[in-house]
Amino acid sequence: MRLGLVRYKYDQGGGAERTLGLLARGLLERGHQVHLVTSAWQGAAPPGLRIRLVPPAGPARWARAAAQSAAGLGLDTWLSLERVPGSPLFRAGDGVHAAWLARRAPYEPLMKRLSFGLNPKHRSLLELERRTLGAPQLRGVIAVSRLVAGELQEYYGVPADKIKVIYNGVDEQMLASAREAWLRQDARRELSLEPGRPALLFLGSGWERKGLAFALAALVRLKDALLLVAGRDRPQAWQARAARLGVAERVRWLGLRTDVAALLAGCDALVLPSIYDPCPNSALEALYAGLPVVTTQAAGACELLEPGKSGVVVSRADAVEELAAACQAALGLPRGFVHRVPGQQQWLGQVVAVLEAAAAAQAKPVASQ
């Protein structure tokens, strides 16, 4: 089959980029001819991947050019990882922008909330989202959680039979050692964690959306615990906030780390009080590693938790007393539980099946009237 993928750019650094690389390789290994429409590819491309470059531009202009490029390739079907009107298949990996704005609003001052409707970026993304999900060419949407599936229906009326929920898959090979006692000992030594000192891990980038402010506020109520913050963001303002709260000495700023297995092994629970998180990979990775997770109902990964065994779900990101109690409860849960979490190959098989089914349906001759 001639199958297409659309992604604005590939730089090897982000989760969506790793997803794209995995999918491209998986399709090629299954014997498909795979075309990628993108503005840039950094690093070595999988052998056999055919890349069609569309010059960088603003979201609406680039989406229009990308759709025209994909349409001209003679594809059996194609999947977009961006909001591109005319896509036959769309993966809502970033969730629903309209839902993100609605969930964010209660945490913002009035003037900031009012600015959402005037901000050109938000207006452009909302218009692209509306047109992508309302286009007559759309045959299916991959939602990364039931949370996102519900939002697709609520905000844009996408029929349930067009939506397929496929949770993100964890890299089982990367996390293979996360349960090992030797790695826990080594990690705690490297992180300078005292024996018996409880350590919470906050892992991810985009700290405002993932609720770091509320994790710091909860730490005030957890007198002995440490908070390790790993990921990409601008730490200066957050460090100042920790100092104002009087917890600066109990927060470790680790920066961007690639040794995820070691971080999970060395800590005692993951805290991710997200304002909005369609399906956070860090929570899935923690569950796979047997590390208790504390998150909110606005994070799609909460659907996979078993309360009282693998973590605690709180009602809202800013419910700080509830969050602190949840962290305390999670720190009391045994590590090393076995939790079924989708692996990369399971994820790949599900997404490939969606593409193949759509291509087969497209090729099926229409019965004569």
Question: Which domains, from first to last, does the chain contain?
Answer: 2-169+344-363 (3.40.50.2000), 181-331 (3.40.50.2000)
pLDDT at 13: 57
pLDDT at 96: 97
Q: How confident is the model at residue 143 (pLDDT cuts 50, 70, 90)?
A: very high
Examine the pLDDT at 17 and tell me if it is beyond 70: no
The angle that helices 97-104 and 146-156 make with each other, rounded to 10 degrees, is: 100
Bin 12: left if φ > 0, else alpha if -120 < ψ < 50, else beta: left
Long-range CB contacts for residues 65-71, cutoff 8 Å, separation at least 24:
66/6, 66/37, 69/37, 70/4, 70/6, 70/35, 70/37
For the chain, the average pLDDT equals 93
What is the distance between the terminal CA atoms of the chain, rounded to a whole angstrom? 28
Q: How confident is the model at residue 213 (pLDDT cuts 50, 70, 90)?
A: very high
pLDDT at 367: 47
pLDDT at 76: 96
Examine the pLDDT at 260 and tell me if it is beyond 60: yes
Cα 234 to Cα 254: distance, rounded to the nearest angstrom: 12
Examine the pLDDT at 208 and tell me if it is beyond 50: yes
Examine the pLDDT at 369 and tell me if it is beyond 80: no
pLDDT at 115: 81
| pTM value surpassing 0.85 | yes
Cα 16 to Cα 224: distance, rounded to the nearest angstrom: 36
Examine the pLDDT at 368 and tell me if it is beyond 50: no
pLDDT at 41: 84
pLDDT at 339: 85
- Mean pLDDT for the stretch of residues 239-261: 96
The residues pairing with 311 across neighbouring beta strands, listed in sequence order, are 293, 307
- Mean pLDDT for the stretch of residues 31-51: 91
Q: H-helix or E-strand containing 164?
A: strand 163-165
Per mean pLDDT, which range of 14-18, 33-37, 53-57, 284-288 is the poorest? Answer: 14-18
pLDDT at 21: 86
Does residue 228 contact residue 199 with C-beta atoms inside 8 Å? yes
